[in-house]
Structure formats: structure tokens, C-alpha cells
Structure 1
Amino acid sequence: MSACVRTLGRRDYLPVWRDMQAFTACREAGTPDELWCVEHPPVFTLGLAGRREHLLHDIDVPVVDSDRGGQVTYHGPGQVIIYTLLDLRRAGLGVRELVRRIEQAVIELLADHDIRSQRREGAPGIYVGTGADEAKIAALGLRVRNGCTYHGVSLNVDMDLSPFAAINPCGYSGLRVTQTRDLGLDLPPEVLGRQLTDALQRVLYPPRT
């Protein structure tokens, strides 16, 4: 079993979000899972618990109140986003295990390129470095409706990181962010998007023994 992969290219956040909602609302028991690989023009998104106090400066980037979990994050060109439209009941997965597996896919992808990364307790996402040098490289936010998920994971690849300075990323003041290009990985978003999609397929649909 595996998911159907759709490569959407660069598309505005709002219509893709609405498409995810519509897909999830119309799912039936046999509807295949899907992974949507997309890139968005600049946008800040606020999660359901998002507080506008984490928007520090107005830099003329639109803000969308989303229905995912989490606080505020930034999406922009050069960032790989994989939306995970999955039937949790069919997979026998809880939300925590799904988060763990999505994080594991990012960890394994980066390890394949000799980049060591890790989780942070209580703060979903993937981080590189330690101590004062720690920086977030991937963010994660999900929504569950009727046992099915949408939204997903974003990986910073080759983008303008300066808009992150206008927010408290994921609600954390002073949180540093980084990207694969700045870690010496010189692969374009479309290549890393395919590799992350493959890694997600492996962790979400392991071979049955």
C-alpha cells in the first residue's frame, strides 16, 4: 500500500487548503491516501491556537487563519511542503505516532545527505545543531477530521529566511531557523521534494511482514 503523489507546483495557500478540506470531506472508506507536494508564494499561516501577538512586524505578507494545529509559521518559494492526506483509522495510527513518523522521514532524508537532525521534546518539527546553535529546519502541523488528516510538513530548502524574523516561529521567541542550502546541501526543492515524498512513503507504509 502507498499514497498517490500529486505534484502541484507553486500555488496560493488558500485554494490548496480549501482543496484539502474538500478532499477530506468527500473521502470514503476506500479512498486512497494522497501526498501533495507544493510550494507557496509568501504567506504567514496561523494555526487554530495561533495568537496574533506572535506576528511581530507587518512586512506586507498576507496572513491566513488556518485550521491546522500549532502557532504561526511562514511559507515561501524555495520551501518544500508535503501535505499528508491520510486515513488514520485504516492505517491504525494515532496522531502522535503519525507525527513521529513524519518527523522520522525528515530525519532519515537529512541523514542520507550526512546532516544530523533531531526532534525537540514538546515542540513538533525537526532541528539541527545543539544549544545556542540549534535551529529549526522543518515544521509540522496537522488537522484531523473524521479520522483523516490533512496539512502536513514543510522543509526549508533554498528560500529567503528573512520573513521568519517578523514572527515568533511556531510561537517561540528567538527561535532560529535554517535551510538545507545553508547546511551545504545544494539540491533544488523539486529534488528534495521527491526525496521527502519517498521517505514519507517508506515510514507511513512499511512492508507488511
Structure 2
Amino acid sequence: MAPDPHVPPVATAQQIEWRPETGQIDYPVALATMETRATAIADGMAAEMIWLLEHPPLYTAGTSADPAELLDPRFPVHAAGRGGRYTYHGPGQRIGYLMLDLTRRGRDVRRFVHAVESWVIGALATFDIHAYAVPDRIGIWTSDGGTEAKIGAIGVRVRRWATLHGFSVNLAPDLSHFGGIVPCGIAEFPVTSAAALGKTVDPGMFDAALAAGLPAFLDGLYPPAKEA
């Protein structure tokens, strides 16, 4: 039986709120929710949360965004407060906002980013999509008809060791919408999606794959145990 995408694995159910959304969430609402929740987590006043959702079409600008890379602002542009440059979000894209306490889970931001990469790559593998990370090139990559292309983006922020933002994965968005920006500042590679690769993956299916890989993702936030 396939895992229920609305229920996280038992081992983590009491530690992390798992919140999948079926409708579109406006970006300012999501950003305010993240900010409030991360502050409460850092203060020890709220549980951690993994929030899976979709936005209406928009562009976000990270702290390193270059105005020259905003080619055609055909959609609203929002300052995100995360690292990175310009990113597109819209229908057909699954977004995971991660509000986790790295004080509890190992204070290693680089390990956190690599664990997120591995988690998303593992979820894509469920659908026979070979994805991978590339050193010094943030994001999730795959081969689109022999051409290397980006299928997912990662952008995080850590404040008082509580994480904000997370990842986005292109399931079946309108890829022409990426033409308004230089995605993540990388002009020499195209973007792709599960649909462009001939794979049908709806949000519930992808959420279920993420839920199945959640224990391994959380384990990956800690350094390996030292041998005696």
C-alpha cells in the first residue's frame, strides 16, 4: 500500500507537523507564516513544521539577486529573505518550506542543504527520474534528452538555528514562465520538469515519496557516528 501523503512516518509524527496543502497559498501569507513559526521554534514555543504547497505565478528575489537577471517581470516579484537569486514559483511546482530546529538536529547548515538535496533526489527516483546534485551549483539537476537541466531549486535561511524556506520541484509547471528571469543566476542551463521528462507526478504522489524518505532526511542532519 502506498504511503498516505498526509501522514508523516510514525517515528516523526510527534516531532514535526506535516502540512500538505491542496490549494494555492499567496506568497506574502506563506512568508509571514514561516517567519512567525521559525521564531516560535527558536523560542521553544512551537513544533517544527514541513509545509508542502503551491503558489500562484510569481518571482522571488533572494539576497544575492541581480536586477539585471529580472528580464521580464510579468508576474509579481517578492523579496524572499533567503539566500540565492531569482526563482520562479507557480502552479505545477511543489514547494517544501522547512521550519526545523538545527539546535536539536545538528548545527551544520552545509549538512542541512546536502540533506535536503538528497531527500529531493530520492523522492524523484521514486518516479524513475535520475536527479543529482552538482558541486558548486546549488539545486537539483537531471538529464533532459541528453542536455543537463535543472528540475529543482534550493534556497534556505537559518535564523537562530531555525530554518526557513526550503526547496521547489518542477512537476508540471509552464516552463515558459521561467523566461522572465535568469533562474538562480544560471543562464547556461535550461529548466525542466517531471512532465517534460514524460513522467506524470501529481502533488499527492510527490508528497508521499517525500514522506517515505523523511526518516533518512532527518538522520542525514546529524554527523556520522564515530567508531569506537
How high is the TM-score relative to the length of structure 2? 0.84
Deviations 1:119-155 (A, max 9, x none): 1111211100189700000100011111110100100
Between 1:135-144 and 1:4-13, the stretch displaced more is 4-13
> Secondary structure of 1:124's partner?
strand
CA contact (8 A) 1:54 1:72 kept: yes
For 2:111, the equivalent position in structure 1 comes to 97
For 1:165, the equivalent position in structure 2 comes to 179
For 2:206, the equivalent position in structure 1 comes to 192
Q: Distance in 2 between matches of 1:4 and 1:132?
A: 39
> C-alpha displacement at 1:66, in angstroms?
1.1
Between 1:143-152 and 1:167-176, the stretch displaced more is 167-176
For 2:167, the equivalent position in structure 1 comes to 153
> Secondary structure of 1:138's partner?
strand
Unaligned runs of 5+ in 1: none
> C-alpha displacement at 1:175, in angstroms?
2.6
> C-alpha displacement at 1:14, in angstroms?
1.0
Per the alignment, do residues 32 and 26 of structure 1 end up closer, same or farther by CA in structure 2, a change over 3 Å counting?
closer
Q: Work out the percentage of aligned pairs sharing the same amino acid.
A: 37
CA contact (8 A) 1:168 1:174 kept: no
How high is the TM-score relative to the length of structure 1? 0.91
> C-alpha displacement at 1:13, in angstroms?
0.8
For 2:61, the equivalent position in structure 1 comes to 46
Between 1:164-173 and 1:38-47, the stretch displaced more is 164-173
> Secondary structure of 1:176's partner?
coil
Q: Distance in 2 between matches of 1:58 and 1:130?
A: 27
Deviations 1:166-194 (A, max 9, x none): 21100112330001112122121232133
CA contact (8 A) 1:128 1:135 kept: yes
Q: Which residue identity is paired with 1:137? A: I
User: Does residue 38 of structure 2 align to residue 24 of structure 1?
Assistant: yes
Moved over 4 A (4+): none
Q: Which residue identity is paired with 1:172? A: I
Q: Distance in 1 between matches of 2:33 and 2:216?
A: 25
Q: Distance in 1 between matches of 2:127 and 2:162?
A: 32
- Over the aligned positions, Cα root-mean-square deviation in angstroms equals 2.1
> Secondary structure of 1:184's partner?
coil
CA contact (8 A) 1:48 1:67 kept: yes
> C-alpha displacement at 1:196, in angstroms?
2.2
> C-alpha displacement at 1:201, in angstroms?
4.2
Deviations 1:22-53 (A, max 9, x none): 11112233732110011000010000111111
User: Does residue 128 of structure 2 align to residue 128 of structure 1?
Assistant: no
Deviations 1:46-75 (A, max 9, x none): 00111111111232x000011011000000
Q: Distance in 1 between matches of 2:108 and 2:178?
A: 31
Equivalent pairs, count: 207
> Secondary structure of 1:129's partner?
strand
For 1:72, the equivalent position in structure 2 comes to 86
Of 19, 23, 28, the residue aligned with 1:6 is 19
Between 1:13-22 and 1:24-33, the stretch displaced more is 24-33
